Amino acid sequence: MCSMAAILSPTTNPTVQIGSRVATPIIRIPSAALRTVRSVYRHDASGGFNPSASFFPGAVGSSRSDWQTSCAILASKAADDNKPSSDAVSGGDAAPDAGEANGKHHLSSAPAAVNGHKPPTNASTTLDLVPIANLPRPLTIADLSPAPMHGSQLRVAYQGVPGAYSEAAAGKAYPNCEAIPCDQFEVAFQAVELWIADRAVLPVENSLGGSIHRNYDLLLRHRLHIVGEVQLPVHHCLLALPGVRKEYLTRVISHPQALSQCELTLTGMGLNVAREAFDDTAGAAEYVAANGLRDTAAIASARAAELYGLQILADGIQDDSGNVTRFVMLAREPIIPRTDRPFKTSIVFAHDREGTSVLFKVLSAFAFRDISLTKIESRPHRHRPIRLVDDANVGTAKHFEYMFYVDFEASMAEVRAQNALAEIQEFTSFLRVLGSYPMDMTPWTANSSPPPSTSCSSSSSSSSSSPPRRD
């Protein structure tokens, strides 16, 4: 075997003369002499040792606990090395000094090196280690699993602050749940996806303000499933600080939907106030209370007045007493559809063909099977907003491409619903089932007026004139 000097010595290459220049030989080191050097620990930018930065796979002591254990062993060895041997002190002839009288020994010898580094002579060899019990507890499978449905408290995310109508909807959907407030709708979706919450309760439409398009877009963007719905009557109140009179108000703040739902009532009260939009109703009440605004009122719920110490100047100020908001419950996994109770299914689809015949065929798939549609909502296609149609005589026509959201009263466990979707899939370029879930069958509260009941007359007429079912 050749020596390292011979390996590292340059190979003999004859000099080559090119014109008036002479090329110098190139020193080449064989690849067999190269070795990969792996450092067990990594140092930080300041030159000191940073144990939290050691993440070399396969290295000895690559974790923080291993490093602390190694340091503890080294510290004990260093303490043993610093102890005086039996030869250093004669058999009891030497009298102990003041330090020995207190149980401490002053050593004249220099402290031993620890981990290859020799500390200063005036430094102690005792290492201040952080107890492992004080370190953050690592995540376990229990932290990444949904809360049990029986006997445990569900974590339900909602948009807004405590006192919002979404919080009341979460409590109605899941009694005794742990409500988790979120500042945005997007955050509520992410809270469920990241296992921070088990469910999310978000509004999708209001009887006065219509659909909440932001949440329809988020339903398509995220992969959560609708597992239920709940309808909540909205009861607005005019809130202000204690002692404030309506005549001295100059501003009213609330969510834009709440301001529009109370516009006629505020005008009829003779209030000459400016109306300013806020993120949410309960947030407006919290803002008035936190800043001590005596010239500003908020439109929010009675629970918000109780939480933030405000007085109710006027109760039930919505223009329509039948103001209802529909919420949907979202989860990471869909529920198993059943047929023992009324179910509703939500889908979204798009088609890439021209004309209105495609949409007619899609709706006919439900009509021929006697499936009632409760909602149809169209939203522009984000990825393909414009469809161009060229005509040699007229020119280029530009049309919007749409996504269609449809809710129908049937369970995916029914054969007619499965056959309807199978037929729809032939005419659509995109089809997705957002969820099949139980309908909200809870009775209406006393202070809310029920919607007009026309189901009997509609069902009787449809049974006589409807085409035969095609399953």
Q: Is 171 helix (H, G, I), strand (E, B) or coil?
A: helix
Q: How many CB atoms lie within 10 A of CB 263?
A: 13
The rounded distance, in Å, linking the Cα atoms of 455 and 452 is 9
Q: Is 391 helix (H, G, I), strand (E, B) or coil?
A: strand
The yes-or-no answer on residue 267 being catalytic is no
The rounded distance, in Å, linking the Cα atoms of 359 and 294 is 55
The yes-or-no answer on residue 327 being catalytic is yes
Per-residue CA distances from 389 to 165, 226, 262 (Å) = 46, 37, 45
In the numeric block, which tokens belong to residue 267? 């005008």
The rounded distance, in Å, linking the Cα atoms of 360 and 436 is 23
The rounded distance, in Å, linking the Cα atoms of 347 and 433 is 4
Strands (E), 301-458: 311-315, 324-331, 343-350, 373-380, 386-391, 395-400, 402-408, 430-438
Q: Which of 125, 265, 296, 325 is catalytic?
A: 325
Q: Which of 185, 189, 278, 327 is catalytic?
A: 327
DSSP, residue by residue, 302-329: HHHHHHHT-EEEEE---S-TT-EEEEEE
The residue whose two tokens read 């003999």 is: 12
**CA 195 to chain CA mean position, Å:** 8
Picking from 328, 249, 317, the residue whose alpha carbon sits closest to that of residue 281 is 317
The rounded distance, in Å, linking the Cα atoms of 282 and 300 is 6
Q: How many CB atoms lie within 10 A of CB 348?
A: 19
User: Among all residues, which ones are annotated catalytic?
Assistant: 325, 327
